[in-house]
Every structure is written in structure tokens, then in C-alpha cells.
Amino acid sequence: MNREVINNIGLERLERLWARGKDLLGVDYAIMGGAMTWLSDRYLVSAISNAGGFGVIACGSMTPDLLDAEIKATYRMTDKPFGVNLITLHPMLDELIEVCLGNNSSHVVLAGGLPPSGAIQKIKHGGARVMCFAPALSLAKKLIKSGVDALIIEGAEAGGHIGPVSTAVLAQEILPHVSEIPIFIAGGIGRGEAMAGYLKMGASGCQLGTRFVCASESRAHENFKKAFYRASARDAVPSIQLDPRFPVIPVRALKNRATEKFLECQRQTIARFQAGELNKKEAQLEIEHFWAGALRRAVVDGEVEEGSLMAGQSVGMVKFEQPVAEIMAELIDQAAAFLEHASN
């Protein structure tokens, strides 16, 4: 059997497996771009959507005016579907939702915790579909009852803010017990074979972030991209908490000089607290403020030693810059080949 026939068989199986995800997103390929602050802007988002996937704008800490401008700019670069990721803890969440609805956004992704009361219904009543992250089966069922249209399962292998459980375990915990709505898998996915494996387990699509950081269309600083090329999976580590009295939200990033400085910041701050120089609230704020602006310094300014190099463990599979369309084609080819051989 020649390679062309093999690929055709694999592609047919791929189409069947992610048909539900494609229908929900309105795209050719049920591959979502992870929303990465300072990276998932009009340029990368439109490139992913134009290549047949589903780009997602990272709102992050944007004001409503900035988000409005970003959505409008993205529309000028693509006529394909794309989504907007909103952080549920944003103090202006209601206004940001209004911006999305006012721009006829087709999909809104709510991240950063359970959505506040009324947010899901407000989005749905405005004509958009709602996607949320489910870090456990119990929360997945709760979100389904709340009316979400799809779920994203993201494991600890992902970059940025992470939970404690791996993607593989979450997939086993949730996929066999949820069939009401489509589920997308995220965290540590860098090749098409992994995508296909999760699709065979019952997922409707996948979300990739780290794989797209070094795309030609990504505006990440060249120093940031070079740090990715040099890195291995073991270099992407979660932030360390030294004292349970001062919680540190785990963030996965590449080890650098700032990583060591953060540990020293914690040591000094804890010592000052114990010496009575700081109260507990002041000490907590000093620790939390250490990383303020650090991601921007790395991504935009290229300060890769003093900034935050957020990256998933799939970073070891990113070795050079490629156009998004080429990355997408590789993923599809790998998934199709895997699905053809997996059935033999």
C-alpha cells in the first residue's frame, strides 16, 4: 500500500474522530491555539484560523477598549472562526463579555476558575458558544449543568498556570464519563500522534500552545524563540513554593536566572516576616509581585534571563521556526499516519 493511500485512510479516520469538534468550532481541523498572553494576538490567531485551525485571542489583563481593537483587527486578517479567551477573575469581566458579543464573537473561552454566576448564560444569550476548562470530573459535570457548549481538559504538562494533575490522567478520569458535549485535550501535546491518541479515547479535538510559540507569524522576540529551540522537556518546570504560609500559584516555565532569584526572594521575604519587619499580607504581596511584568519582559523585550519563559513540556519538540500552515500540515500528517497504522 503506497503512502498516498495510507494517508487517505488515516485522514478519513481522523475526520470521523474529530467531526464533532470541527462542527462546534466551524473549522477544517479541530485544533485550537492555546491562548497565550502577549503571544496569541491578531497575527498568530489569524494565522492559525487561516490554516484551518481555531485561533484564540488571549485577553489576559486587557481593558475592554484594547480587546475591542484586537478583535476588530483580527477580523481584518481572517474571515475564519476564532475565539476569545477571558479570565474569570478579571475585574471587568462583564464589560469584556459585552465587547465579545458586540463584535459577534462566535466562541468565548472562560479560563482561570469557575465562571461567576450568570456569565455562561449571558454569553449564550448573546449568541456565542461557551467553552470552559475542567480540571476534574466533578467540575466537568458542574459546568455541563451550567450550560457550557464544550470543555477543555488541560493537564500539568502545559505552560503557564497549571494544575497538579497530568493530561493523561485527566483524560482517563473525564473522557469515559462525559459524552454530552465535545471535549478538547490540552497540555504537553506537540505531535499529531498524541492528538490522534486522545481522539481515539473520545476527545473531539486538541489545544496546542507551546507548539505555535515559534511560528513565523508569532511576534515573540527572537531571544524568546531561541530559548525554546535550546530547551528540553526537563527545562520546563513549575514554580517552587518554599513556605505553605505563602502560597505560590504554580506556573510552568523554562529555568533561568529569574527562577533562582524568585527562590531567593521568597527566602528573604519569609525571613523578614519572621523577624517582624513585614506582616503576612505584606510578605505575600512581595512574593506575588516578583513576577509582575516578567512575561512581557521575556516575550516582547527579549529579556530571557530576567523574564518569565512560560512553556509547556512539549517545548523539546520545538527546534526551529515554521509557518503555522506548515506546523498544521505536520500535525495532520502525523495523526493520519498514526491512525492508519494503529488499526493494522
Those residues whose C-beta lies under 8 Å from the C-beta of residue 99, and which sit 6 or more positions away, are 64, 67, 68, 71
Those residues whose C-beta lies under 8 Å from the C-beta of residue 225, and which sit 6 or more positions away, are 213, 214, 218, 321
Q: Which domains does the chain have, with CATH numbers?
A: 3-220+318-342 (3.20.20.70), 232-310 (no CATH)
Give Rg (Cα) of the chain.
Answer: 20
Predicted confidence band at 195 (pLDDT cuts at 50, 70, 90)? very high
DSSP class of residue 216 equals T
Mean pLDDT estimate for the chain: 95
pLDDT, tens digit, for every residue of 69-122?
999 999 999 999 999 999 999 999 999 999 999 999 999 999 998 998 899 999
pLDDT higher than 60, residue 1: no
pLDDT, position 190 = 97
User: What percent of the chain is modeled with pLDDT above 70?
Assistant: 97
DSSP class of residue 239 equals P
pTM over cut 0.75: yes
pLDDT, tens digit, for every residue of 290-320?
998 999 999 999 999 999 999 999 999 999 9
Predicted confidence band at 344 (pLDDT cuts at 50, 70, 90)? low
Cα dihedral 150→156→158→159 (10° resolution) = 130
Q: CA 81 to CA 75: how far, in whole Å?
A: 9
CA distances from 17 to 195, 205, 231, 269 (A): 11, 8, 33, 52
pLDDT higher than 90, residue 2: no
Instruction: Retrieve residue 83's grid coordinates.
Output: 475565539
pLDDT higher than 70, residue 343: no
pLDDT, position 8 = 84
